[in-house]
Structure 1
Amino acid sequence: MSAQFEPVWQALRDKVESGWAPGMVAGIRHGGTTEFFATGVRTLGRAEPMRVDTPFRIASLSKPVAGAIAASMVADGTLAPDDPADVWLPELAYPRVLTSPDAPLESTVPAGHDITVRHLMTLTHGLGVIVGDTPLARAIAAAGIAPGPIPPSMTSEEFMHRVGALPLEHQPGERWSYHTGSDLLSVLMARAGQAPLRQILAERITGPLGLHDTGFLGDAAELPTAYRPGVDGLEILDAPDGVFSREPVFETLAGGLVSTVPDYLAFLTALAEDSLLPAEQRRHMTSDQLTVAQREGMVEMVGPGISWGWQVGVTTDGAGSWTTPGGYGWTGGTGTTAYVNPTADFIGVLFTQRAMAGPEEDFSYFWEPLAAAL
């Protein structure tokens, strides 16, 4: 490894040695060369070391993969952004919308217009993470379809039935709402592609790029234990032989993928070099697709200077030392982050197995030393 990134690797060693996470793996591509680093162990109290090719549950880093599949379907004419989504998702036909976000479930009006494919790609269809205790938030939790790091434990058909039975929080196209649109887009792409999502993923992304360690199923012998911060330290979120070691009931790119740092870095490299998608579709995917009105309330979830493209966060003002206007990437609630900086010509990926405590947590312990090294 070059000496240039030694301060970055040392920062990761220090973070692991502090007890923040048992282990982590990172990759950096800069100036046409790629370096990887692994530190720590896969499970607390056990000696199995993290390896560069250790698979992780990548949570919402699955979303940019969904964006790339959707963009490829737009490129070949399978989808058009302004198609009504109910062509493939009849459960979303004739949606009702709450009269106000905190209104009773029965207090609704008809939606002003159809939900479109674009609404799902940009997460503006009207339903997602709800901050606060509202009747709709309680109904979403009771239905078992609340956004989280573990995919819903029901078939896609049952998921659609439960979503379709609820009103929207906002009118379609009015406001960005996180996560649920990615689940819906996953179902839509499988139905439009007339194949299981795992097959579409293989045909359009992992097969062409040779990503042999990316999919909906992890190997229990290789997966690290996933943890979340608790009152008395780290608690187990998912064991190596847990949810992600079994065939999923619902294949979703809202947060269902297992991948490795080399695979994910290869995906982002192909995206950035326009070897995965036609340049026009990649530009749509990785540029700001929201209006000022649609971004209202978004900063509380994603922080300042960030908007949304097709299933990926995009930088609008480059306020961070490692960010730039036109850069793009995202984070995953299980403790993963990735970013493409076209101006500084770098791509960074960091996977940990410690779930984020909330939107206020970030990965600056990785990004700041990287920016300084460049």
Structure 2
Amino acid sequence: MASALEDLLVRHVEAGTVPGAIGLLGRDDPEVVAVGVAAVGGPALRDDAIVRIQSMTKAVTAVAVLRLVEAGRLGLDDSVEPWLPELARRRVLRAPTAALDDTEPAVRPITVRHLLTNTSGYGMLLEPSPLAEAMAANATEAGPNPFPGSADAWMGRLAGLPLAFQPGEGWRYHHSYAVLGVLVSRLTGRGFGEHLADDLLGPLGMVDTGLWVPTAELHRLPAAYRHDGERLVETEPAGGGAYAGPPDVDVSHGELVSTARDYHRFLRALVTGEDVGGPPLVSAAHRRLMTSDQVAPALKTPTSFFPGFWDTTGWGFGVGVVTTDPHRGRFGWSGGQGTDFFVDPDGTVGVLLTQVELGEHVWPLVEEFQALA
């Protein structure tokens, strides 16, 4: 007899929401289900498929940064300028929609905490403005396709633009976490992916997680899609695209690929305090900060993110935090390529992996998945 998880995934595959999906639900020994295909007209989707998790990377990045804090390498309220000199002497728009030259000096430096809480002054702009146009023109706006150049080139382009608000005095999603990846790389003197592999992914046995899919494993990378009306349009082929094989440049600003079981290992280690060859993944105090709302009420404006977001959700470090019943205390986040995870206060973990861009067609699947636990 099929489980509720399998029924949900089968129903959405048959409806054409996604070509295939992987679901994981449970605690220590969770159910893992794969249905559908890895590409339209292609082979069955494997439950160990390596997928583009995009913004689910943010939780991993937050843990990597907190581990460096606990190692005494940096502090939450340290300025990032010693490692990111491009961010010194920032200029700030006098209003979010002001002309690019209508600026004033930053009154404080950007700190590690500002980046973790998305209050650095960098981030997605949901309303038309000269800054939004400039980000589109220099390829630093958020989108499904990775920036084509190196981490240093990306930082240079981002730093060439003014901040949308004074550090700590607003909230904008996304870009702070790419900056954190570059910060970790420069602090440790090696690529962000190399540091993750040695400090976090390797000790946890997350052998299929990284900033790209190894060439020998490309048969496990599904195709990527977006909806064009009722039609699915392929944006990256199975076994190909931006994450296929090692890149030619440093991608410390990039996002991860992973599997359902790998990501479950990470989440279980986070919630149980499992040690990683020594101390726990992160301390209990930092885990509480990470998984509780860290955004001041004054910053939760209607224009800072999607309408209604702040009504039910806060932001910790790398994760959203549910602030209302019935799932109060749940933390998790979604990736733009149709992925999602959550962790409930009782330790139940859910991981949903598809490869279809989030939008009106895919959101109902995500919402129904989140309602299963």
TM-score (norm 2): 0.92
Partner of 2:49, secondary structure, is coil
CA deviation vs aligned residue, 1:311-351 (integer Å, no higher than 9, x gap): 11112223xx4x222x21100000000000014x3110000
Counterpart code for 2:228: G
**Aligned: 1:24 with 2:7:** no
Structure-2 residue corresponding to 1:222? 220
Alignment partner, residue 86 of structure 1:
81
1:87-136: CA deviations, max 9, x gaps?
A: 11000001111111111100000111111111111110012110122110
Q: Report which stretch shifted further, 213-222 or 113-122.
A: 213-222
Alignment of 1:76-155 (within 5 A): 76-155=71-150
- Contact 1:150–1:256, Cα closer than 8 Å, also in 2: no
After superposition, the Cα gap between the structure-2 partners of 1:340 and 1:17, relative to the gap in structure 1 and judged at 3 Å, is same
Kept in 2, the 8 Å contact 1:72–1:281? The answer is no
Alignment match, 1:13? 10
Amino acid at match of 1:357: G
* Matching residue of 2:34: 38
Contact 1:153 1:250 in 2 (8 A): no
One-letter amino acid of the counterpart of residue 341, structure 1: D
Matches within 5 A, 1:1-374: 6-30=3-27, 32-46=28-42, 48-218=43-213, 219-231=217-229, 233-240=231-238, 241-248=240-247, 249-252=249-252, 256-275=255-274, 276-297=281-302, 298=304, 300=306, 303=309, 304-318=311-325, 321=326, 323-325=327-329, 327-343=330-346, 345-357=347-359, 361-362=363-364, 363-368=366-371, 370-371=372-373
Give CA deviations for 1:58-82 in whole Å, capped at 9, x if unaligned: 0100110001101111111112011
Determine the C-alpha separation between the residues in 2 that align with 1:175 and 1:360.
29
User: Could you tell me how far 1:301 is from its partner in structure 2?
Assistant: 6.0
Contact 2:93–2:103 (CA under 8 A) maintained in structure 1? yes
Q: 1:206 to 1:274 in 2, by over 3 A?
A: same
How far does residue 200 in structure 1 lie from its aligned partner after superposition? Answer: 0.9
- Give the whole-Å Cα distance in 2 for the aligned partners of 1:78 and 1:140: 32
Alpha-carbon distance between aligned partners in 1 of 2:144 and 2:114, rounded to the nearest angstrom: 22
Query: In 2, are the aligned partners of 1:151 and 1:250 still within 8 Å (CA)?
Result: no
1:181-208 deviation line (CA, Å, top 9, x unaligned): 1111110011111211111111221111
Tell me how far apart the structure 2 counterparts of residues 301 and 314 of structure 1 sit (CA, whole Å): 16
Distance 1:201 1:301 in 2: 34
Maintained 8 Å contact 1:78/1:193: no
Determine the C-alpha separation between the residues in 2 that align with 1:299 and 1:113. 24
Query: d(CA) in 1 for partners of 2:289 and 2:370?
Result: 26
| Matched residue type, 1:17 | E
Amino acid at match of 1:43: A
Shift of 1:252: 4.2
- Structure 1 runs not aligned, ≥5 long: none
Distance 1:351 1:302, change over 3 A: farther
SS of the aligned residue for 2:8 comes to: helix
Aligned mates of 2:341, 2:308 — CA distance in 1: 14
Offset of 1:360 from its aligned partner? 9.5
Rounded Cα–Cα distance in structure 2 between residues aligned with 1:71 and 1:301: 30
CA–CA distance in structure 2, aligned partners of residues 104 and 83 of structure 1: 30
8 Å contact 1:340–1:346 — kept in the other structure?
yes
1:91·1:164 contact (CA, 8 Å) conserved in 2?
yes
Conserved in 2, the CA contact under 8 Å of 1:27 and 1:348? yes
| SS of residue matched to 1:293 | helix
- Once residues 357 and 338 of structure 2 are traced to their aligned partners in structure 1, the CA distance between those partners, rounded to angstroms, is 5
- Structure 1 pair 120/302, CA: closer, same or farther in 2 (3 Å)? farther
Percent of aligned positions that are identical: 37
Structure 1 residue 292, shift from structure 2 partner: 0.6
SS in 1 for 2:227: strand
Residues 1:171 and 1:243: Cα distance change in structure 2 (over 3 Å): same
- The runs of 5 or more residues in structure 2 that have no matched partner are 275-280
1:222-258, Cα deviation, whole Å (9 max, x unpaired): 21000011135111122221111032334246x6211
Question: Could you tell me which amino acid in structure 2 is paired with residue 198 of structure 1?
Answer: G
CA contact (8 A) 2:61 2:177 kept: yes
* SS of equivalent residue, structure 2 residue 195: helix
SS at match of 1:243: coil
Distance in 1 separating the partners of 2:220 and 2:306: 36
Question: How far apart are residue 85 of structure 1 and its match?
Answer: 1.0
Identify if the C-alpha distance between structure 1 residues 307 and 206 changes in structure 2 by more than 3 Å, giving closer, same or farther.
Answer: same
AA aligned opposite 2:343? V
Counterparts of 2:306 and 2:30, CA distance in 1: 34
Is the CA contact (8 Å cut-off) linking 1:92 and 1:115 kept in structure 2? yes
Task: State the shift of 1:143 in Å.
Answer: 0.6
